[in-house]
Protein backbone atom coordinates (compact mmCIF):
# COMPACT_ATOMS: atom_id res chain seq x y z
CA UNK A 1 0.00 0.00 0.00
CA UNK A 2 1.29 3.45 -0.88
CA UNK A 3 2.31 5.76 1.93
CA UNK A 4 0.65 8.84 0.41
CA UNK A 5 -2.89 9.87 -0.30
CA UNK A 6 -4.26 9.63 -3.83
CA UNK A 7 -4.63 13.42 -4.06
CA UNK A 8 -1.03 14.05 -3.02
CA UNK A 9 0.83 11.30 -4.91
CA UNK A 10 2.27 13.74 -7.42
CA UNK A 11 3.52 16.05 -4.69
CA UNK A 12 5.69 13.28 -3.32
CA UNK A 13 6.46 11.99 0.11
CA UNK A 14 7.66 15.26 1.62
CA UNK A 15 4.51 17.11 0.63
CA UNK A 16 2.27 14.35 1.93
CA UNK A 17 4.09 14.29 5.27
CA UNK A 18 2.77 17.79 6.00
CA UNK A 19 -0.86 16.64 5.65
CA UNK A 20 -2.93 15.88 8.74
CA UNK A 21 -3.97 12.45 9.97
CA UNK A 22 -7.69 11.74 9.61
CA UNK A 23 -9.44 10.10 12.58
CA UNK A 24 -12.98 8.73 12.29
CA UNK A 25 -15.46 7.48 14.87
CA UNK A 26 -19.22 7.14 15.11
CA UNK A 27 -19.24 9.75 17.88
CA UNK A 28 -16.96 11.00 20.65
CA UNK A 29 -15.47 7.65 21.69
CA UNK A 30 -12.63 7.94 19.20
CA UNK A 31 -11.37 10.97 21.09
CA UNK A 32 -9.62 8.52 23.43
CA UNK A 33 -7.68 7.34 20.37
CA UNK A 34 -7.04 10.93 19.30
CA UNK A 35 -5.77 11.67 22.81
CA UNK A 36 -3.32 8.77 22.58
CA UNK A 37 -2.28 9.82 19.07
CA UNK A 38 -1.57 13.38 20.14
CA UNK A 39 0.52 12.14 23.06
CA UNK A 40 2.50 9.74 20.84
CA UNK A 41 2.82 12.17 17.91
CA UNK A 42 2.92 15.73 19.28
CA UNK A 43 4.15 17.16 15.97
CA UNK A 44 1.24 15.85 13.90
CA UNK A 45 -1.93 17.65 12.85
CA UNK A 46 -5.30 15.89 12.94
CA UNK A 47 -8.79 16.10 11.51
CA UNK A 48 -11.33 14.25 13.67
CA UNK A 49 -14.81 13.35 12.44
CA UNK A 50 -17.52 12.08 14.75
CA UNK A 51 -20.68 10.91 12.99
CA UNK A 52 -22.87 11.99 15.89
CA UNK A 53 -26.02 12.28 13.76
CA UNK A 54 -26.07 8.53 13.12
CA UNK A 55 -24.66 6.98 16.28
CA UNK A 56 -24.62 4.41 17.73
CA UNK A 57 -23.05 2.18 15.11
CA UNK A 58 -22.77 -0.76 17.47
CA UNK A 59 -26.38 -1.89 17.05
CA UNK A 60 -26.62 -1.42 13.27
CA UNK A 61 -26.29 -3.97 10.46
CA UNK A 62 -22.92 -4.58 8.76
CA UNK A 63 -24.21 -3.08 5.51
CA UNK A 64 -25.29 0.13 7.20
CA UNK A 65 -22.05 0.41 9.18
CA UNK A 66 -20.02 -0.03 6.00
CA UNK A 67 -22.05 2.58 4.10
CA UNK A 68 -21.69 5.12 6.89
CA UNK A 69 -17.97 4.44 7.24
CA UNK A 70 -17.28 4.87 3.52
CA UNK A 71 -19.10 8.20 3.54
CA UNK A 72 -17.17 9.48 6.55
CA UNK A 73 -13.84 8.32 5.14
CA UNK A 74 -14.60 10.08 1.87
CA UNK A 75 -15.30 13.33 3.69
CA UNK A 76 -11.92 13.14 5.44
CA UNK A 77 -10.08 12.29 2.22
CA UNK A 78 -11.60 15.38 0.61
CA UNK A 79 -9.98 17.45 3.36
CA UNK A 80 -6.54 16.09 2.37
CA UNK A 81 -5.12 13.52 4.79
CA UNK A 82 -2.06 11.29 4.69
CA UNK A 83 -3.42 8.42 6.78
CA UNK A 84 -6.83 7.34 8.07
CA UNK A 85 -7.27 6.02 11.60
CA UNK A 86 -10.53 4.13 12.08
CA UNK A 87 -10.86 4.91 15.77
CA UNK A 88 -14.07 2.90 16.11
CA UNK A 89 -13.94 -0.75 17.11
CA UNK A 90 -17.28 -1.44 15.45
CA UNK A 91 -16.15 -0.06 12.08
CA UNK A 92 -12.74 -1.70 12.42
CA UNK A 93 -14.44 -5.02 13.10
CA UNK A 94 -17.00 -4.76 10.30
CA UNK A 95 -15.72 -2.55 7.49
CA UNK A 96 -11.92 -2.23 7.55
CA UNK A 97 -11.46 -4.39 4.43
CA UNK A 98 -13.98 -2.33 2.49
CA UNK A 99 -12.31 0.91 3.54
CA UNK A 100 -8.87 -0.33 2.52
CA UNK A 101 -10.23 -1.49 -0.85
CA UNK A 102 -11.97 1.83 -1.46
CA UNK A 103 -8.84 3.87 -0.59
CA UNK A 104 -5.98 1.95 -2.23
CA UNK A 105 -3.54 4.87 -2.08
CA UNK A 106 -4.14 5.71 1.57
CA UNK A 107 -2.88 3.85 4.65
CA UNK A 108 -5.87 2.82 6.77
CA UNK A 109 -5.27 1.75 10.37
CA UNK A 110 -8.00 0.23 12.51
CA UNK A 111 -8.00 -0.49 16.22
CA UNK A 112 -8.62 -4.26 16.13
CA UNK A 113 -5.28 -5.48 14.76
CA UNK A 114 -3.10 -3.42 17.16
CA UNK A 115 -5.32 -4.47 20.06
CA UNK A 116 -5.08 -8.14 19.09
CA UNK A 117 -1.29 -7.95 18.79
CA UNK A 118 -1.01 -6.35 22.23
CA UNK A 119 -3.32 -8.98 23.73
CA UNK A 120 -1.24 -11.84 22.36
CA UNK A 121 1.93 -10.26 23.73
CA UNK A 122 0.33 -9.69 27.14
CA UNK A 123 -1.20 -13.14 27.56
CA UNK A 124 0.85 -16.00 28.94
CA UNK A 125 -1.91 -18.60 28.90
CA UNK A 126 -3.60 -17.58 25.65
CA UNK A 127 -6.93 -17.24 27.45
CA UNK A 128 -8.17 -13.77 26.50
CA UNK A 129 -11.47 -11.95 27.05
CA UNK A 130 -12.76 -9.13 24.85
CA UNK A 131 -15.47 -6.62 25.72
CA UNK A 132 -17.08 -4.28 23.19
CA UNK A 133 -20.30 -3.29 21.45
CA UNK A 134 -22.82 -5.81 20.15
CA UNK A 135 -21.53 -5.56 16.58
CA UNK A 136 -17.88 -5.89 17.58
CA UNK A 137 -18.48 -8.99 19.68
CA UNK A 138 -21.00 -10.56 17.30
CA UNK A 139 -18.69 -10.08 14.31
CA UNK A 140 -15.81 -11.93 15.97
CA UNK A 141 -13.08 -9.72 14.51
CA UNK A 142 -10.95 -9.80 17.66
CA UNK A 143 -11.23 -13.57 17.88
CA UNK A 144 -10.07 -13.93 14.27
CA UNK A 145 -7.23 -11.46 14.70
CA UNK A 146 -6.02 -13.03 17.95
CA UNK A 147 -6.18 -16.63 16.75
CA UNK A 148 -4.45 -15.69 13.51
CA UNK A 149 -1.49 -14.61 15.65
CA UNK A 150 -1.84 -17.40 18.23
CA UNK A 151 -3.86 -20.37 16.95
CA UNK A 152 -4.09 -22.01 20.37
CA UNK A 153 -5.66 -18.94 21.97
CA UNK A 154 -9.07 -19.26 23.60
CA UNK A 155 -11.01 -16.04 23.19
CA UNK A 156 -14.25 -15.19 24.97
CA UNK A 157 -16.28 -12.04 24.49
CA UNK A 158 -19.13 -10.04 25.92
CA UNK A 159 -21.05 -7.00 24.73
CA UNK A 160 -21.13 -4.30 27.41
CA UNK A 161 -23.46 -1.58 26.07
CA UNK A 162 -24.06 0.07 29.45
CA UNK A 163 -20.38 0.99 29.65
CA UNK A 164 -20.92 3.27 26.64
CA UNK A 165 -23.78 5.11 28.34
CA UNK A 166 -21.87 5.43 31.61
CA UNK A 167 -18.82 6.87 29.86
CA UNK A 168 -20.88 9.43 27.96
CA UNK A 169 -22.71 10.48 31.12
CA UNK A 170 -19.41 10.85 32.96
CA UNK A 171 -20.33 8.16 35.50
CA UNK A 172 -16.90 6.56 35.45
CA UNK A 173 -16.24 6.14 39.18
CA UNK A 174 -18.29 5.02 42.14
CA UNK A 175 -20.79 2.28 42.98
CA UNK A 176 -22.84 2.42 39.77
CA UNK A 177 -20.03 1.70 37.25
CA UNK A 178 -18.52 -0.83 39.65
CA UNK A 179 -21.85 -2.67 39.96
CA UNK A 180 -22.20 -2.76 36.17
CA UNK A 181 -18.61 -3.94 35.78
CA UNK A 182 -19.18 -6.68 38.34
CA UNK A 183 -22.26 -7.91 36.48
CA UNK A 184 -20.54 -7.90 33.10
CA UNK A 185 -17.09 -9.15 34.03
CA UNK A 186 -17.06 -11.46 37.06
CA UNK A 187 -17.78 -14.69 35.18
CA UNK A 188 -16.10 -13.51 31.95
CA UNK A 189 -12.66 -13.05 33.48
CA UNK A 190 -12.74 -16.00 35.86
CA UNK A 191 -10.38 -18.07 33.69
CA UNK A 192 -8.45 -15.54 31.60
CA UNK A 193 -5.25 -13.56 32.09
CA UNK A 194 -5.91 -10.71 29.64
CA UNK A 195 -8.87 -8.40 29.01
CA UNK A 196 -9.13 -6.35 25.81
CA UNK A 197 -11.08 -3.10 26.00
CA UNK A 198 -12.62 -3.46 22.56
CA UNK A 199 -14.49 -0.15 22.59
CA UNK A 200 -12.98 3.31 22.68
CA UNK A 201 -15.38 4.39 25.45
CA UNK A 202 -14.12 1.76 27.85
CA UNK A 203 -10.73 3.28 28.84
CA UNK A 204 -12.64 5.94 30.77
CA UNK A 205 -13.97 3.17 33.01
CA UNK A 206 -10.64 1.41 33.53
CA UNK A 207 -10.53 2.36 37.22
CA UNK A 208 -13.88 0.69 37.96
CA UNK A 209 -12.99 -2.25 35.74
CA UNK A 210 -9.63 -2.73 37.49
CA UNK A 211 -11.27 -2.81 40.91
CA UNK A 212 -13.53 -5.65 39.76
CA UNK A 213 -11.03 -7.77 37.81
CA UNK A 214 -8.15 -7.37 40.26
CA UNK A 215 -4.53 -6.28 39.92
CA UNK A 216 -3.12 -9.34 38.13
CA UNK A 217 -5.23 -9.32 34.98
CA UNK A 218 -3.58 -7.60 32.01
CA UNK A 219 -5.84 -4.92 30.50
CA UNK A 220 -5.22 -3.95 26.87
CA UNK A 221 -6.33 -0.49 25.74
CA UNK A 222 -6.69 -0.41 21.96
CA UNK A 223 -6.30 3.40 21.90
CA UNK A 224 -2.71 3.27 23.13
CA UNK A 225 -1.78 0.33 20.92
CA UNK A 226 -3.29 2.00 17.85
CA UNK A 227 -1.31 5.18 18.49
CA UNK A 228 1.88 3.13 18.68
CA UNK A 229 1.02 1.37 15.41
CA UNK A 230 0.40 4.70 13.63
CA UNK A 231 3.66 6.16 14.93
CA UNK A 232 5.55 3.09 13.71
CA UNK A 233 3.92 3.26 10.27
CA UNK A 234 4.68 6.96 9.80
CA UNK A 235 8.28 6.46 10.86
CA UNK A 236 8.71 3.46 8.56
CA UNK A 237 7.55 5.45 5.53
CA UNK A 238 9.28 8.71 6.44
CA UNK A 239 5.89 10.39 6.84
CA UNK A 240 6.28 12.02 10.25
CA UNK A 241 4.90 15.55 10.28
CA UNK A 242 7.07 18.64 10.04
CA UNK A 243 8.06 20.76 13.01
CA UNK A 244 5.42 23.43 12.25
CA UNK A 245 2.86 23.99 15.02
CA UNK A 246 0.28 21.19 14.80
CA UNK A 247 -3.42 21.85 14.44
CA UNK A 248 -6.48 19.81 15.30
CA UNK A 249 -9.77 20.26 13.45
CA UNK A 250 -12.96 18.86 14.98
CA UNK A 251 -15.88 17.83 12.77
CA UNK A 252 -19.24 16.38 13.78
CA UNK A 253 -22.46 15.64 11.95
CA UNK A 254 -24.78 16.91 14.69
CA UNK A 255 -24.92 18.35 18.20
CA UNK A 256 -21.81 20.47 18.62
CA UNK A 257 -22.76 21.42 22.20
CA UNK A 258 -23.08 17.81 23.34
CA UNK A 259 -19.97 16.87 21.36
CA UNK A 260 -18.00 19.52 23.21
CA UNK A 261 -19.42 18.68 26.62
CA UNK A 262 -19.03 14.90 26.44
CA UNK A 263 -15.93 14.93 24.25
CA UNK A 264 -13.95 17.05 26.69
CA UNK A 265 -13.86 14.12 29.10
CA UNK A 266 -12.74 11.70 26.39
CA UNK A 267 -10.03 13.99 25.03
CA UNK A 268 -8.85 15.15 28.43
CA UNK A 269 -8.96 18.77 27.26
CA UNK A 270 -11.75 21.37 27.19
CA UNK A 271 -13.53 21.61 23.85
CA UNK A 272 -15.41 24.68 22.66
CA UNK A 273 -18.71 24.12 20.86
CA UNK A 274 -17.93 27.08 18.60
CA UNK A 275 -14.75 25.36 17.39
CA UNK A 276 -16.60 22.24 16.19
CA UNK A 277 -17.61 22.33 12.54
CA UNK A 278 -20.87 20.61 11.60
CA UNK A 279 -20.66 18.69 8.33
CA UNK A 280 -23.29 16.87 6.30
CA UNK A 281 -22.49 13.36 5.07
Residue 199 known to be catalytic: yes
Percentage of the chain exceeding pLDDT 90: 85
Four-point Cα dihedral 87, 39, 117, 47, nearest 10: 20
Single out the catalytic residue among 87, 167, 199, 252.
199
Task: Write out pLDDT tens, residues 5-31.
Answer: 344 333 345 568 899 999 999 999 999
The structural architecture, per CATH, of the domain 6-110+225-278 is 3-Layer(aba) Sandwich (3.40)
Distances (CA, A) of 234 to 20, 22, 44, 83: 12, 13, 10, 9
Residues of the chain with CATH 3.40.50.1860: 6-110+225-278, 113-222
Q: Answer whether 87's CB lies under 8 Å from 111's CB.
A: yes
Asked whether the beta carbons of 59 and 135 are under 8 A apart, the reply is: yes
What is each CA distance from 159 to 31, 117, 135, 194, in whole angstroms? Answer: 21, 21, 8, 16
pTM: 0.90
Q: What's the confidence (pLDDT) of residue 132?
A: 94
Query: Catalytic: which of 31, 55, 75, 88?
Result: 88
DSSP state of 274: G
pLDDT value at position 13?
A: 52
CA-CA-CA-CA torsion for 172, 176, 181, 184, nearest 10 degrees? -130
Quick one: fold of 113-222? Rossmann fold (3.40.50)
pLDDT digits (tens, 9 = 90+) for 39-88: 999 999 999 999 999 988 888 999 999 999 999 999 999 999 999 999 99
Give percent of the chain with pLDDT exceeding 70: 94
Is the Cβ–Cβ distance between 38 and 250 less than 8 Å?
no
Q: What is the pLDDT of residues 90-114, one digit of tens each?
A: 999 999 999 999 999 899 999 999 9
Q: How far is CA 279 from CA 48, 71, 76, 86, 87, in A?
A: 12, 12, 11, 18, 18
Amino acid sequence: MSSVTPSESAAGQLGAAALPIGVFHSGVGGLTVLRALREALPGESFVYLGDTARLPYGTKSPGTITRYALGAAGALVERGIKLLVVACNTVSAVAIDELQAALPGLPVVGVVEPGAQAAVLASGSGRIAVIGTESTIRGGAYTRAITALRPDAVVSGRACPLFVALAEEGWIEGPIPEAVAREYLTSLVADVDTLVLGCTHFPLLVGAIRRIVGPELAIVDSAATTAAAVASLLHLHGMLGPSAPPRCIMLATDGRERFARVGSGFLGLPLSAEAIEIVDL
